[in-house]
Amino acid sequence: MADKMRAEDGVESRAAREFGLGLQAFSERRLDCAREHMERAAAFQGRVARYQHGLGVILRELGEYREAELCFERALILDPGHVEAHYDWGCLLSRDERFEAAIPHFEAVLLLRDDFPQVRFNLGNALRKTGKLRQAEECYRNLAHREPRNANAQGNLGIVLRDQGRIDEALVHWKHAVGLAPENPEAHWNLAYGLLAKGEYARGWKEFEWRLKTEGNGLRQRLLTQPRWTGEADSSLTLLVHTEQGAGDSIQFARYIPLAAQRVKRLMLGCPRELSRLFDSLEGVHCLVVEGDPLPHFDCHVPLLSLPGVFETTLSSIPWPGCYLKPSGSHTNMRLPRLSRSLLRVGIVWSGNSRHANDRNRSTHLRDWLPLLSLPGTTFYSLQVGPQTSEMARLASETKMIPLHPWIGDFADTAHWIEQLDLVISVDTAVAHLAGAMNKRTWVMLPFSPDWRWLLDRQDSPWYPSLRLFRQPSLGDWTSVLTDIRGELERLIREKQALPAMSA
């Protein structure tokens, strides 16, 4: 018995030694070495939760996420009250956007240790991502009460209030966050969102510039050594305007290119390839540079989304040059078939880019549209591109919709099809901006908490005269939106069918 106890003590001692060496190597970021030590500790004492958890943390840092998750699971089987294993597993699940699965782990941490740092913030994020907005609000409020100088808690509390349509309350917390962390770009970016959503453009554009300092934004600006253009008129300057963020943003603010071109000698426009043929039609562009190609000489530069601030845009001075984008190139073989004059041609887009931060709220499924797509007197064309086009095949017998995506390679192709339609109905995605920039009649479906550019509580858009906005009356209620659109579409169909009789 004594020999057995000594042997067990020896194993435990070796396991503890390997565990300590693993922790030391991990602190020095020697991850492969740390892994070897931690694997030996687990091999000696595989039924000790902290060794499984330690190995999981190292595997997570090495990017072996599935193996790390298995380690956290084993740790909790051995010790269901292991706080760190619950927390790290929750963080790993959140990283993979499995927020529903992460929530119980974060909640377990709070039950086991109420003072665990950061867990309320992560729990609030997971609750918000799963649409549990009231619970998320309570979580952030609790955190803000415990840590009154935590700017991130104030910022996220503002975000979840905005998600509930409470923008004035959100602004209070965003302003507080900026006061607590005046150099925090995210705090300023949140404040810009609120100000612009309320149409307070004078201060909003100034705060909007902080987007260039947020993580993932502004890399191009940091690489360019030429000075920023601030709007000065100089007939000797060559100006580079470069796009940023999404295609919809670029299309919306492309209207400023002719205005900027009037103040300089030459204007170069840098943009992604998917926009290059479309933007080739813009007035004032002397040279178009596709993203990734070598840059010719230029004297100064400005991000495209900074131009509203440069021109001191207010709600009453938003430039509208008329249809400022149009199809370019030859599309003689891309014509819609001739239809009866009484038939309405309608293009639809039901889903945006899945990588968009708010795509879960702004996008729909094609099945949601079935009551609309059954309307007589209308021919529906799908302008949808990307993986979501597969929904058409599953609903082919119910939609009788004509797909156009096989003939869409870029936005210039999309513009060609839009030009031939009577109406575009779209969720908040780049196609809605393109149709608006072409001055095409367009109906845009907005989530309950829409993007700042659509302002608040209005059916029109000062950015696009041809747009009409249909807003969700409550979170996730697309049924009401599509019911309203069906009623308006029926009215439009009646008007279209009355035209021949009126002209006879």
User: pLDDT tens-digit profile of 110-152?
Assistant: 999 988 879 999 999 999 999 999 999 999 999 999 999 999 9
Looking at the fold, whether 362 and 454 belong to one and the same domain comes out as yes
Q: Look at residue 11 and tell me whether its pLDDT is greater than 70.
A: no
* Range 75-100 average pLDDT: 96
Looking at the fold, whether 204 and 232 belong to one and the same domain comes out as no
For residue 199, give the CATH number of its domain: 1.25.40.10
Residue 241 lies in a domain: yes
Whether the pTM exceeds 0.75: the reply is yes
- How far apart, in whole angstroms, are the C-alpha atoms of residue 425 and residue 443? 5
User: pLDDT tens-digit profile of 407-455?
Assistant: 999 999 999 999 999 999 999 999 999 999 999 999 999 999 999 999 9
What is the structure's pLDDT at 340? 59
Residue type, 118: Q
Percent of the chain predicted with pLDDT > 90: 77
User: pLDDT tens-digit profile of 243-270?
Assistant: 988 899 999 999 999 999 999 999 999 9
Q: Look at residue 330 and tell me whether its pLDDT is greater than 60.
A: no
Looking at the fold, whether 434 and 480 belong to one and the same domain comes out as yes
What is the structure's pLDDT at 103? 98
Looking at the fold, whether 196 and 246 belong to one and the same domain comes out as no
Looking at the fold, whether 294 and 376 belong to one and the same domain comes out as no
Looking at the structure of the chain, the number of domains it has is: 3
Q: Look at residue 364 and tell me whether its pLDDT is greater than 50.
A: yes
Q: Please, are residues 192 and 184 in contact by the beta-carbon 8 Å criterion?
A: no
Looking at the fold, whether 492 and 364 belong to one and the same domain comes out as yes
Looking at the fold, whether 394 and 499 belong to one and the same domain comes out as yes
332 against 379, higher pLDDT = 379
Question: Domain containing 351: what range?
Answer: 344-503
Residue 175 lies in a domain: yes
What is the structure's pLDDT at 500? 58
Which of the four pLDDT bands, split at 50, 70 and 90, describes residue 504? very low
For residue 265, give the CATH number of its domain: 3.40.50
Average pLDDT over the chain, rounded to whole? 91
Q: Look at residue 68 and tell me whether its pLDDT is greater than 70.
A: yes
Residue 458 lies in a domain: yes
Which of the four pLDDT bands, split at 50, 70 and 90, describes residue 328? confident
Looking at the fold, whether 300 and 375 belong to one and the same domain comes out as no
Beta-carbon contacts of residue 286 (< 8 Å; ≥ 6 apart): 261, 266, 267, 268
What is the structure's pLDDT at 341? 65
What is the structure's pLDDT at 59? 94
What is the structure's pLDDT at 12? 73
Looking at the fold, whether 357 and 467 belong to one and the same domain comes out as yes
User: pLDDT tens-digit profile of 265-307?
Assistant: 999 999 999 999 999 989 999 999 998 899 999 999 999 999 9
Instruction: Find, among 417, 416, 419, 414, the residue nearest to 430 by Cα.
Output: 414
- How far apart, in whole angstroms, are the C-alpha atoms of residue 42 and residue 22? 11
Q: Among residues 264, 282, 317, which one ends one of the domains? A: 317
What is the structure's pLDDT at 5? 38
User: pLDDT tens-digit profile of 217-236?
Assistant: 654 555 788 999 999 999 99
- How far apart, in whole angstroms, are the C-alpha atoms of residue 369 and residue 373? 6
Looking at the fold, whether 479 and 419 belong to one and the same domain comes out as yes
Looking at the fold, whether 184 and 206 belong to one and the same domain comes out as yes
* Range 326-355 average pLDDT: 79
Give exposure, 340-360, as e/b (b: 16+ Cβ within 10 Å).
eeeebbbbbbbbbbeebeeee
Residue 85 lies in a domain: no
* Range 483-494 average pLDDT: 95
User: pLDDT tens-digit profile of 15-43?
Assistant: 888 888 988 998 899 989 989 988 888 88
Residue 134 lies in a domain: no
Residue type, 48: V
User: pLDDT tens-digit profile of 295-306?
Assistant: 999 999 999 999
- How far apart, in whole angstroms, are the C-alpha atoms of residue 24 and residue 43? 19
Residue 65 lies in a domain: no
Beta-strand ranges (E) seen in 225-382 are 234-242, 264-271, 287-290, 300-303, 344-349, 378-382
* Range 332-353 average pLDDT: 81
Beta-carbon contacts of residue 34 (< 8 Å; ≥ 6 apart): 22, 23, 25, 26, 58
Q: Among residues 185, 210, 235, which one ends one of the domains? A: 210
For residue 470, give the CATH number of its domain: 3.40.50.2000
Residue 247 lies in a domain: yes
From 214-223, 305-314, 338-347, 417-426, the region with the lowest mean pLDDT: 214-223
Residue 38 lies in a domain: no
What is the structure's pLDDT at 217? 64
DSSP 294: P
Percent of the chain predicted with pLDDT > 70: 93
Instruction: Find, among 74, 90, 66, the residue nearest to 54 by Cα.
Output: 74
CA distances from 150 to 78, 103, 160, 249 (A): 35, 22, 16, 31
Looking at the fold, whether 362 and 492 belong to one and the same domain comes out as yes
Q: Among residues 298, 317, 336, which one ends one of the domains? A: 317
